[in-house]
Amino acid sequence: MVDESSYRQGGRVGVLALQGDVREHTALLERLGAEVVRVRRPEELARVGGLVIPGGESTVIDKLSRQFGLAQPIRDAIGDGMPVLGTCAGLIMLADSIEDAIEGQQTFGGIDVVVRRNAFGRQVESFEASLEVPLLGERPVRATFIRGPVVERLGPDATALAALEDGRVVAVEQGNLIGISFHPELDGEPRFHERFLDRVASRP
């Protein structure tokens, strides 16, 4: 890990602020020393060196990103190697394919996976789990799942970072992209955000 001063030197990061738990991600990133821009328009995306896509409703994020002219600029940024962290709906938006997409639903893509939306049922069926994530150290990750997706198929270019006891993959990585099914920002779990910030700080 790099220290917090390196995050500041690495430039601004953005949180996609169209819908979802924007405030919680912003607070965690700022606690880690990052300068945060709430991204709603292409000109704001152009000011940041990395992007967090928060949880929320993937269909709404998709629709609003197109309405605000952000969808293609985000795809272009991903193609150019911008580090991106997607949580819950953010994982759906980073997936190359959705198994149960609604008609016309699109993603930004970038991670070679197929995901299934709302894999754990309704919001009242939310739950917590302790996950082993070797890449983040020996201490387990406390994970809160709220109508989260799961990775149904993992392509050869993507790497699984964590799975539930039944084997369902809930965290993946590909290049500078990280996608997770749960909400570390709600539990104050900083390590995924730290890994994201490391990528931003080290990018040329």
Q: What type of residue is 108?
A: F
**Alpha-carbon span 111 to 148, nearest angstrom:** 17
Q: Which of 185, 189, 193, 194 is catalytic?
A: 185
Residues β-bridged to residue 53: 86
Tell me whether residue 183 is one of the annotated catalytic residues. Answer: yes
Q: Which of 24, 25, 44, 183 is catalytic?
A: 183
Alpha helices in the chain (DSSP H): 4-9, 22-31, 42-45, 58-67, 71-79, 89-94, 184-187, 191-202
Tokens 């606690």 correspond to 31
Tell me whether residue 43 is one of the annotated catalytic residues. Answer: no
Report the greatest alpha carbon distance in the chain: 45
Tell me whether residue 88 is one of the annotated catalytic residues. Answer: yes
Q: Which of 25, 88, 189, 193 is catalytic?
A: 88
Give me the active site residues, please.
88, 183, 185
